[in-house]
Structure 1
Amino acid sequence: MTNPARTITTGFHEGELAVQRKAGVTQDAARLTGMLAPARLRGGATRFLAERTFAAITARDADGTLWTSPLAGPPGFLHVASPTALDVRALPAAGDPLQRLPEHQPVGLIIVEFATRRRLRINGTLSHTGSDGLRIDVEQAYGNCPQYIQNRHLHSAPAADRTTGPVRSGHALTQDDIGLVRRADTFLIGTTHPTRGTDASHRGGPPGFVRVENGELWWPDYWGNNMFNTLGNLQTDPTAALLFCDFATGHTLHLSGRATLEWTETGIPGDDDSTGRRVHFTPEQFVAGRLLPLRAGSVTAAPDNPPLTDQPSAP
């Protein structure tokens, strides 16, 4: 696999700046530039990582296709080896599109604690892949606000429920796949930039906030921190990877394809948070199975979820 040239710099890149300008939030975003400084994992970040059991990684497979995959383990599976190195003592499950994860490539990691509505993003380079896990050389690490994170308590799946079962792959979504998407209140999205590397991020909302029409997906953008890391990446490279998890059953749906940012009139049906922005995603490949070894029996909706302003259309 050929890796693009990397430029380790600070500040927002041209895609992020373009979206910030069009959204009219350049000054607000500029106040957050310091969050993008080179990372040093220590103190609170080290403690947060040591207690987590769930993360998602965005990377490319051996064919160069971008995917976002779940990673899970007991507390301690995310271990800070140094202020600039993170050991992940877990690997993607058998059948996962990133099961054979090539090293020496840019990766993005999103770590979410749903019970306390906290998250941390880590971007860097996958410097080693071994039989016992991964090492990530960390270049960026910063927290995000609790907005749109649904409250749920994850636990290990019962022993009788830990087999992954059959894994499907293909190009056209089935009705089961569409149903999983339409029920989802959460998904993870991976994007990339030609020189700045790869990023993984969280999206949440009420069930139905991701619409499926004619085999393609779209969702409204919500108000956030105005950094526009994800949308900025899509401004420069439409490659995207989505991960949907059914936390009740462990079923997962990985999607790899292309996404575009669309600007609409504010307040039209489907513009649930009145931003005038939506993302349209065209899946090109999918992998579906039961690849999440964690479960959650109940969920409490995030208090800031905006209500749906339309009804999903039939496929």
Structure 2
Amino acid sequence: MGVYHAGSRAVQDLAGARERADHVGRSLGQDIKPVAAAFLELQPLLVVGAADPGTGRVWASALTGAPGFVRATGPRQMSVTGGLVPDDPLAAALAVPGTPVGTLALDPRTRRRMRLNGRLRPTARGFAVEADQVFSNCPKYIQRRESFERAGGRGPGASRRCGRLEPADAETVRTADTFFVATVHGTGADASHRGGNPGFVRVVSPHELDWPDYPGNAMFRTLGNLREDPRAGLLFLDWDTGTTLQLTGEARTEFRAGGERTVRFTVARAVRTEDAVPLRWSAPEFSPANPAG
């Protein structure tokens, strides 16, 4: 498998970033190195992205557990203990052997993140992912949250599903400083992170939102996937209450003079779950990389 597919190459060329992307791409590999394995075992949260095998819709979901619930169980294998609640829109995908998945472990305490993409295999205790690509990202746009606690007695309520953003959903989006995005391409899936000061994601209507694509590592994996396949899934997490908002739909990127880019997302379905994540994080210290305004 090559480091980049045609979609990523096309966006790199539009951005004039192919040479930098080639340099950064040397960090991608299949092996889970000891420092990455140690990082995984400290995490209480893992984001997973994939396409539902029945509907074809792409979703991003949050899995949680005591540190150690995610760990390397081989030089190219990550194992996860536990799974999603049965009514999570991604639960069906995680039960199908061979499902392409993208995973992201992000630690707000250290502003570090690690991505592992590969093929899923259900196990007796959860699932494992055979790695195709393993890599870390720079700390840009990650808000520091110094600590977390497990909220006693918190458990997921019934999910509310609809085909648009309700007022509470729009407020969740407008006040978010972080969200996660899942995308797919012909041979795989990817889960990534977007961050900025609250308000960086704009609600255009109950059916559309957009956000600026800030300069990153020049790989353009998310935008490259969207160029080949517009399906995407977004996950907004309330870091205090544990409420999640999952959106699925399609996204397109608009390129403007001067290199500025905006991603526009059209909502097909929205799933809101109160108390979905049993973690309560401390207040954020915003990243110094966040653009003002």
Question: Which TM-score applies when normalising by structure 1?
Answer: 0.88
Give the direction of change, closer, same or farther, for the CA distance of 1:47–1:123 in structure 2 (3 Å limit).
same
Give the CA deviation at 1:214.
1.5
**Deviation readout 1:217-242 (Å, 9 max, x if unpaired):** 10001111111010010111001000
In structure 2, distance between residues paired with 1:129 and 1:199: 21
Conservation of the 8 A alpha-carbon contact between 1:10 and 1:36: no
Moved over 3 A (4+): none
In structure 2, distance between residues paired with 1:179 and 1:163: 22
**Deviation readout 1:180-215 (Å, 9 max, x if unpaired):** 0000000000001112x0000010000000000122
Conservation of the 8 A alpha-carbon contact between 1:154 and 1:294: no
Number of residue equivalences = 288
1:68 equivalent in alignment to 2:52: no
Give the CA deviation at 1:152.
0.9
**Aligned match for 1:118, one of 108, 112, 118:** 112
Give the direction of change, closer, same or farther, for the CA distance of 1:250–1:190 in structure 2 (3 Å limit).
same
In structure 2, distance between residues paired with 1:111 and 1:204: 15
In structure 1, distance between residues paired with 2:78 and 2:110: 22
Give the CA deviation at 1:298.
1.1
| Paired amino acid for 2:43 | R
In structure 2, distance between residues paired with 1:167 and 1:228: 33
**Aligned match for 1:227, one of 219, 228, 239:** 219
Give the direction of change, closer, same or farther, for the CA distance of 1:286–1:129 in structure 2 (3 Å limit).
farther
**Aligned match for 1:146, one of 120, 139, 146:** 139
SS in 1 for 2:169: helix
Give the CA deviation at 1:47.
0.6
In structure 2, distance between residues paired with 1:62 and 1:28: 35
Runs of at least 5 residues in structure 1 that lack an aligned partner in the other structure: 1-8, 267-274, 309-315
**Aligned match for 2:292, one of 307, 311, 315:** 307
Give the CA deviation at 1:77.
0.7
Residue number in structure 2 paired with 1:194: 186
Give the CA deviation at 1:59.
1.5
**Deviation readout 1:41-75 (Å, 9 max, x if unpaired):** 13101111111111100022342321100011111
1:203 equivalent in alignment to 2:191: no
Residue number in structure 1 paired with 2:12: 20
Give the direction of change, closer, same or farther, for the CA distance of 1:158–1:84 in structure 2 (3 Å limit).
same
**Aligned match for 2:170, one of 171, 178, 184:** 178
Question: Which TM-score applies when normalising by structure 2?
Answer: 0.95
Conservation of the 8 A alpha-carbon contact between 2:148 and 2:282: no
Identity of counterpart residues, as a percentage?
A: 41
| Paired amino acid for 1:289 | T
In structure 1, distance between residues paired with 2:191 and 2:144: 20
In structure 2, distance between residues paired with 1:105 and 1:204: 28
**Deviation readout 1:143-165 (Å, 9 max, x if unpaired):** 000000001145343223x1212
In structure 2, distance between residues paired with 1:150 and 1:93: 27
Give the CA deviation at 1:94.
4.5
In structure 2, distance between residues paired with 1:167 and 1:293: 15
Q: How does 1:87-166 map to 2 (within 5 A)?
A: 87-100=79-92, 101-103=94-96, 104-130=98-124, 132-160=125-153, 162-166=154-158
SS in 2 for 1:32: helix
Conservation of the 8 A alpha-carbon contact between 1:188 and 1:200: yes
1:217 equivalent in alignment to 2:209: yes
SS in 1 for 2:158: coil
Runs of at least 5 residues in structure 2 that lack an aligned partner in the other structure: none
CA-based RMSD of the aligned residues comes to 1.4
| Paired amino acid for 1:136 | V
**Aligned match for 1:292, one of 263, 277, 281:** 277
